[in-house]
């Protein structure tokens, strides 16, 4: 059985133009992931054309939001996919540009990389209710996908699953991102839903070093008052190939940090 090392990065950009101005492309060239999944592109097709279709010789595939300057996801890939899936079939959220899937199918394996941006509920109850609707819709979609193929979903899930996933868990129990209902959804996904939180598989007890997002308030980044909101969620066979995980904090491209995991891919 032949395998090859596959390096997969996920990063919420908080705006592709902003992240690029802070040195993102040079970092991608240097670290050379096979795929980098990006979220919160905050751009339209016209903005990307001629500027961001490629990054470090990796071609980009995007799902843009209908609303300008909002949401949007993409995947830059060194390998050409066998198919590209834009959206997951739910009009409310497909209009918000939250899901792109690249398929790399061979005669022996069906395999996907997904970039997904889960809604935030922090701006008010309307958006929290939208977040709950999204969770209710994405769960059966992932189950259906899992029944037919291997995949890794990379993305900003906007949920800190456990107490070790954020600094101030006690004071955040009534706040979006750490609500009991959100945490229960994640527990269900990782138990009866059969998916694997790949970073936690490799680093089960990591706390301060596990954070991937920091508020812009109160020197949160300098003090490392963070949350772990960015995940690799994989089918068990994909997760079994995970070898190493790293969260890069030396440079700051966004209010999130890139998380990279290296996998053994069976060829």
pLDDT, tens only, 97-147: 999 999 999 999 999 999 999 999 999 999 999 999 999 999 999 999 999
Model pLDDT, residue 2: 77
Rounded Cα distance between 58 and 78, Å, is: 5
pLDDT, tens only, 179-211: 999 999 999 999 999 999 999 999 999 999 999
Could you write out the DSSP letters of every residue in 231-255?
EEEE-HHHHHTEEEEEE--SS-SSS
pLDDT, tens only, 68-95: 999 999 999 999 999 999 999 999 999 9
Model pLDDT, residue 3: 78
**Does the pLDDT at position 267 exceed 90?**
no
- For residue 138 the two structure tokens come to 């994405």
Residues with catalytic roles: 156
Q: For 110-218, where are the E strands, in sequence order?
A: 111-117, 150-156, 196-197, 213-214
Q: Give Cα separations from 43 to 17, 137, 217 (angstroms).
A: 8, 25, 25
Q: Give Cα separations from 151 to 99, 111, 142, 238 (angstroms).
A: 14, 5, 9, 7
Model pLDDT, residue 188: 98
Model pLDDT, residue 26: 97
Q: Are strands 73-77 and 83-86 parallel, antiparallel or unpaired?
A: unpaired
Cross-strand partners of 111: 150
Closest CA to 231 of 146, 115, 138, 128: 115
Is residue 131 within 8 A of residue 159, CB to CB? The reply is no
How many residues are given for the chain?
267
**Does the pLDDT at position 221 exceed 90?**
yes
Model pLDDT, residue 266: 75
**Does the pLDDT at position 1 exceed 80?**
no
pLDDT, tens only, 224-260: 999 999 999 999 999 999 999 999 999 999 999 999 9
The mean predicted confidence, pLDDT, of the chain is 97
pLDDT, tens only, 13-70: 999 999 999 999 999 999 999 999 999 999 999 999 999 999 999 999 999 999 999 9
């Amino acid at each position: 059985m032949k395998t090859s090392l596959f390096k997969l990065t996920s990063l919420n950009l908080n705006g592709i133009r902003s992240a690029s101005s802070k040195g993102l492309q040079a970092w991608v060239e240097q670290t050379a992931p096979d795929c980098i999944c990006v979220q919160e592109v905050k751009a339209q097709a016209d903005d990307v054309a001629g500027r961001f279709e490629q990054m470090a010789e990796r071609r980009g595939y995007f799902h843009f939001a209908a609303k300008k300057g909002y949401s949007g996801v993409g995947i830059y890939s060194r390998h050409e996919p066998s198919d590209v899936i834009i959206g997951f079939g739910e009009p409310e959220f497909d209009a918000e540009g939250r899901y792109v899937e690249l398929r790399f199918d061979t005669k022996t394996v069906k395999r996907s990389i997904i970039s997904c941006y889960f809604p935030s509920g922090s701006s008010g109850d309307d958006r929290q209710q939208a977040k709950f609707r999204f969770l209710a819709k994405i769960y059966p979609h992932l189950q259906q996908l899992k029944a037919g193929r291997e995949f890794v979903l990379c993305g900003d899930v906007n949920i800190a699953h456990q107490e070790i996933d954020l600094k101030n868990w006690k004071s955040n129990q009534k706040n979006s991102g750490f609500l009991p209902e959100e945490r229960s959804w994640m527990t269900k996904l990782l138990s009866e839903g059969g998916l694997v939180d790949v970073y936690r598989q490799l680093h089960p007890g990591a706390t301060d070093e596990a954070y991937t997002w920091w508020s812009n308030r109160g020197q949160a980044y300098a003090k490392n008052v963070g949350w772990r909101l960015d995940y690799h969620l994989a089918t068990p066979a994909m997760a079994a190939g995970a070898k190493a995980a790293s969260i890069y904090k030396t440079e700051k491209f966004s209010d999130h940090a890139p998380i990279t995991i290296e996998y053994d891919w069976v060829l």
